[in-house]
Structure 1
């Protein structure tokens, strides 16, 4: 056998192996090496009717309301590079997003905010429908534990403090007045479905009128329950894994549709986004361009958006060439009227 052929063949195989290893190394670098960025991208649109449970719902209409979401993921090197030309990828520094906390803290904050948003949505819908109701605080939750590494975690529901039941800021302040001289206290919390006992130091630099500071957390949130005068008007919202406040408007519209006669969707597929408060005022949100894409992909006829985000949403809709109508609203009543006019 010619030795030159053997050497030549061996060299070719070696070169192929080297190129294969180099390619694998580059792919690993692009796909698996972490970066300091997270990425926002268009998420999904979810029908709100399966999430809103009314005791005596109105007959379903021909259309549907949908809430829109943004997908948040860790940005590898390849996704970071793609963001230079892909308008549906928005990079954000993790340190700015998580603000010194962890991704788990961020998710828990969004979950707490969602629980409050659901209550505001129901209250706004009751007010718009003219339904009588009462309000009661039923739980006190650590909505931001901070980054100091204390005993509390974001999402902890405080059940008792120093052996005394706690469901509100007022009750916590009263318990702190009794425990402050001891310099520490025993606390019972519900954490991810399980009851946990904590021993915490009490800050000598804060008073019982500053309960969050005194127990070493950044923020506490009271959760409220809206109770209608008539049991037939009872509404419960179960959002599952969806977090944040921006589904408030769509939850309020679905609730209003369940409680009133007629088809509020006017037979259309209506997607939307926007925070809402108990007065029915719609607030601005982030990531609206991603939600426009999510709504279009879901086949929405109309996209409802806070007035502050309207121009950005219109520009994105024009950019992707959708026939979907974008309507800006400032209140729940505006949204109701917009739907009546759109159904014409």
Structure 2
């Protein structure tokens, strides 16, 4: 066999061997890619994403206005917890433009199971909906009252099956509580093994009252006594987390299944404002965006920004409301034809939408790569 032919054959066999090895060798990475985008002003899976209802007997019924254009929330698709990436798959992902290869621990931290990650994402999504409603209604000057609720109960903890997620806590040992932090402070005043008494309105009664636009009533309250246990560091705990719940003047129902995390907060909030005001916020334009939002309307940064801008542009978005903390990263790899608008608050977003619908896009504060 001629030397040149032998060399070529050996090289070909070596390449085949390397490709086979690459297809078999597993590496500790996962992949993020553009996920679905949903117009918060529209219908998804047969139901309005935002359904605003007036409460029975309420004289000041909310006026819900027609809207146009898009206010799309965006998502990131990630590989499942059971997925095991190969070396070849990682190499292909690194070369690709529309995906991002990240360490597996970024998606599924070692100390958390896949179920715990999913549960945490679901809880964050629910909390983001709550904050979106609060921020929107406060911006519109509508009344919102708050109360402390049980956020979650640790399985096997002293409070398990005694307190439940959604229970409204009005007092601890007779002391009224108005902030989530107050509950922890009062519990930790006890020694492990001592009993602590919670005054709570059960979740079912609280939810029924809220649907009518009423605050949870003390008439429905009951006392629940829980024996504390010792946490790391020696402090007393009962195994619950607490959060701030709210009562709204009318029902706002957000329906969007199979979505997790807090990053849709800003777009939900803008969708609510759009439906409750006569001004057509987008002027018919296709606007997408992302960002967490707190009760005060401040916008926070999120993960997977590059994948979300790609997803938005693929669906036809012209403008993308981008959290200020994500601006520099997003601008480094901006999809062609997409304007990245720097956004720090709901006020920033509404001001930008005003410029967009008036055609004053040259006045927008755009993201820049540092």
Q: 1:54 aligns with which of 41, 52, 55?
A: 52
Aligned residues between the structures? 284
Q: 2:78 aligns with which of 64, 69, 72?
A: 72
Is the contact between residue 75 and residue 91 of structure 1 (CA under 8 Å) also seen in structure 2? no
Distance 1:36-1:223 versus aligned 2 partners, 3 A rule: farther
Instruction: Tell me which residue corresponds to 1:193.
Output: none
Q: 1:30 aligns with which of 6, 23, 28?
A: 23
Q: 1:202 aligns with which of 229, 239, 263?
A: 229
Distance 1:61-1:158 versus aligned 2 partners, 3 A rule: farther
Distance 1:293-1:279 versus aligned 2 partners, 3 A rule: same
SS in 1 for 2:230: coil
Is the contact between residue 193 and residue 228 of structure 2 (CA under 8 Å) also seen in structure 1? no
Is the contact between residue 135 and residue 227 of structure 1 (CA under 8 Å) also seen in structure 2? no
Distance 1:46-1:335 versus aligned 2 partners, 3 A rule: same
Indicate yes or no: 2:121 matched with 1:110. yes
2-structure distance, mates of 1:172, 1:314: 42
Instruction: Tell me which residue corresponds to 1:333.
Output: 347
TM-score by length of 2: 0.66
Instruction: Tell me which residue corresponds to 1:43.
Output: 35
* Cα distance, 1:265 vs structure 2: 1.5
SS in 2 for 1:62: coil
Instruction: Tell me which residue corresponds to 2:285.
Output: 268
* Cα distance, 1:88 vs structure 2: 2.5
Distance 1:98-1:76 versus aligned 2 partners, 3 A rule: closer
Instruction: Tell me which residue corresponds to 2:248.
Output: 227
Per-residue CA deviation, residues 125-176 of structure 1 (Å, 9 max, x unaligned), is: 011111112123343215xx6xxxx746xxxx96625x9x954466687788
Instruction: Tell me which residue corresponds to 2:306.
Output: 289
Is the contact between residue 247 and residue 273 of structure 1 (CA under 8 Å) also seen in structure 2? yes
1-structure distance, mates of 2:183, 2:162: 10
What value does the CA root-mean-square deviation take over the aligned residues? 3.6
Is the contact between residue 284 and residue 309 of structure 1 (CA under 8 Å) also seen in structure 2? yes
Distance 1:57-1:268 versus aligned 2 partners, 3 A rule: farther
1-structure distance, mates of 2:150, 2:50: 21
* Cα distance, 1:328 vs structure 2: 0.9
Instruction: Tell me which residue corresponds to 2:173.
Output: none
- In the alignment, structure 2 segments of 5+ residues that lack a partner are 1-12, 42-47, 54-61, 170-179, 196-202, 204-225, 359-370
1-structure distance, mates of 2:189, 2:342: 48
* Cα distance, 1:71 vs structure 2: 0.8
**Normalized per residue, which structure has more helix?**
1
Instruction: Tell me which residue corresponds to 1:122.
Output: 133
Instruction: Tell me which residue corresponds to 1:309.
Output: 326
